[in-house]
Structure 1
């Protein structure tokens, strides 16, 4: 396969020595014949790609926007995304969304991948990859199609479904670094990461400290039992860097179900609502404010409910901006406590 000169130069430079950063590593090529091979560490295992992918298929909004943020829409054959992930017309990547074909308004399927003639599927466990339906990295490998697993979704071995192997922002930076190396846009990835780190550091410098940090519960969905974020999903660091404490940070998982009694016992000062799905943010707020078991919870008594979009709260290039918005809100809460 032929590479553009710029991509070839970037890959050649990356392959001259083993490089490390953000939990990812590129291994040096063994000989001239493998000069286009790139080996990345993804979900704790080394994966070798023998060429720069040209027909990438992505699943869901955050994963798709990783490609867009790196300027890689020309390398994409399409994406799958439900309609409940928010308005995409005002995002920085609206032109890329118009340019790249939408394959499905549901989860990615094996049929979507084959129809698009994909040479790489970028998805995650719970974000496209699943055993039922046969869409797994192993199944795709048998079809001659490469995969890359979103780091936020990496299974951690604690149970068969528990996800998350590193702090959420580290996961974001690891994926940007890996994708930058795979596609020969290392400088672009490094610049993005540096900008994100600077933005987050600015919020952290102004954040409440010590006992002044508000306790925060992330409410995704669910009435009988709430679906929320443990310490490996993006909200953990969004909350922490913004100056709050995730009341469910002891859950060694990314997205997980808990009991309402644990929410009541931890008495959050603020509830962050994830806006997506058939039940919108306003409906979720009404439910939380009227749900009898929560009536004595501080966030409900003081009506401290803050809304962020779905794409803010899964691993995506929107995470740092979400930290800034939540940080501004938590500073006002801390000032009133």
Structure 2
């Protein structure tokens, strides 16, 4: 099996996640199985502005999507999971440090999560996010699940900020660190969570030390998909922190949202030197690249003229434990551009 550069960084940096999936000592684990709280419980946490108290660690968690699922895997919480829901367009899952975890936990559905699925899985907690499984249109919301006796944890990147359906309440990497710390408290694995956060912060600090700085930072646009209007990242989605920490200047940093749509005229006006493609969905990265290079209004955009188009996996760009390694990889690419400009 050949690991990608990002997978290699993850495999080295996350070696501590291979310590096994037991998340508490034997006595506390027995207490949880028997329904009695250990000395750690009850514990109260805050998630997207709401306070929730846990009398014991959830034991049958259903997760939605790849980044959320891998947060659980990175914390060694496979044995607390009833399964995960995820389309099969999320890249090569054999080339990640959590390959064995994917083999242990049931893949419940390749479609969207439903209330019926959660009930059938006997879930006691659904870990999802707004537009990452939670959606009023489908009826799967924390409030609806609560009526069924099922708890919920909302991905912090997806927290709504009070401006309609706009999402984002903190910088994306801080959202990842917040979720790791909070889940560490919920599942009594705070030491493991703290070790992950320290390791991730060190990876990011090392990458930033080598990244382009000041006026030498290349301007970067994130292209998810879309022909008439591009779907992209605002300041509260993962790509913003990945781009900026890697030494890039995110051209859509003024958008007070996570994932959103803009006009091509805005992209042309801001003239990015690099376009990062989000590789997922029915349209391949190659087709997205061909479109960008052939779309007339973009012909004079620097990234198109110089064919500076960089492809990243979906799971690198949404909130996930792959984010720090993604920063390392993108920083290396941007350093090459800095060099080619003749700094």
TM-score, structure 2 length as denominator? 0.89
Q: Determine the C-alpha separation between the residues in 2 that align with 1:164 and 1:6.
A: 38
Compared with structure 1, are the counterparts of its residues 4 and 175 closer, same or farther at alpha carbon in structure 2 (3 Å cutoff)? closer
Aligned partners of 2:220 and 2:243 also within 8 Å: yes
- Per the alignment, residue 293 of structure 1 pairs with 297
Q: Determine the C-alpha separation between the residues in 2 that align with 1:8 and 1:86.
A: 37
1:242 aligns with 2:260: no
Aligned partners of 2:65 and 2:87 also within 8 Å: yes
Counterparts of 1:295-314 in structure 2, within 5 Å, are: 295-314=299-318
2:128 corresponds to which of 123, 131, 138: 123
- Per the alignment, residue 75 of structure 1 pairs with 80
Q: Which runs of 5+ in 2 are unaligned?
A: 1-22, 32-36
1:216 aligns with 2:220: yes
CA shift digits 1:213-261 (9 cap, x unpaired): 0000000010000000000000000000000011001000000000000
Aligned partners of 1:218 and 1:273 also within 8 Å: yes
Aligned partners of 2:24 and 2:189 also within 8 Å: no
Compared with structure 1, are the counterparts of its residues 331 and 114 closer, same or farther at alpha carbon in structure 2 (3 Å cutoff)? same
CA shift digits 1:278-321 (9 cap, x unpaired): 00100000000000000000000000000000000000000000
Aligned partners of 2:28 and 2:38 also within 8 Å: no
- Per the alignment, residue 111 of structure 1 pairs with 116
- Per the alignment, residue 269 of structure 1 pairs with 273
Aligned partners of 2:245 and 2:327 also within 8 Å: yes
Compared with structure 1, are the counterparts of its residues 49 and 212 closer, same or farther at alpha carbon in structure 2 (3 Å cutoff)? same
Displacement after TM superposition at 1:33 (Å): 11
Displacement after TM superposition at 1:8 (Å): 3.6
Q: RMSD of the alignment, in Å?
A: 1.7
Q: Determine the C-alpha separation between the residues in 2 that align with 1:94 and 1:108.
A: 22
Q: Determine the C-alpha separation between the residues in 2 that align with 1:206 and 1:189.
A: 26
Aligned partners of 2:40 and 2:188 also within 8 Å: no
Q: Determine the C-alpha separation between the residues in 1 that align with 2:142 and 2:53.
A: 13
Q: Determine the C-alpha separation between the residues in 1 that align with 2:24 and 2:194.
A: 20
Aligned partners of 1:7 and 1:183 also within 8 Å: no
Counterparts of 1:160-171 in structure 2, within 5 Å, are: 160-171=164-175
Counterparts of 1:1-337 in structure 2, within 5 Å, are: 5=25, 8=28, 36-158=41-163, 160-337=164-341
Secondary structure of the 2:254 match is coil
Displacement after TM superposition at 1:48 (Å): 1.6
Secondary structure of the 1:205 match is helix
- Per the alignment, residue 28 of structure 1 pairs with none
Residue correspondences, number: 313
Aligned partners of 2:24 and 2:188 also within 8 Å: no
Q: Determine the C-alpha separation between the residues in 2 that align with 1:250 and 1:184.
A: 38
Q: Determine the C-alpha separation between the residues in 2 that align with 1:154 and 1:283.
A: 32
Displacement after TM superposition at 1:134 (Å): 1.5
Displacement after TM superposition at 1:70 (Å): 0.4
CA shift digits 1:73-96 (9 cap, x unpaired): 010000000011111011110111
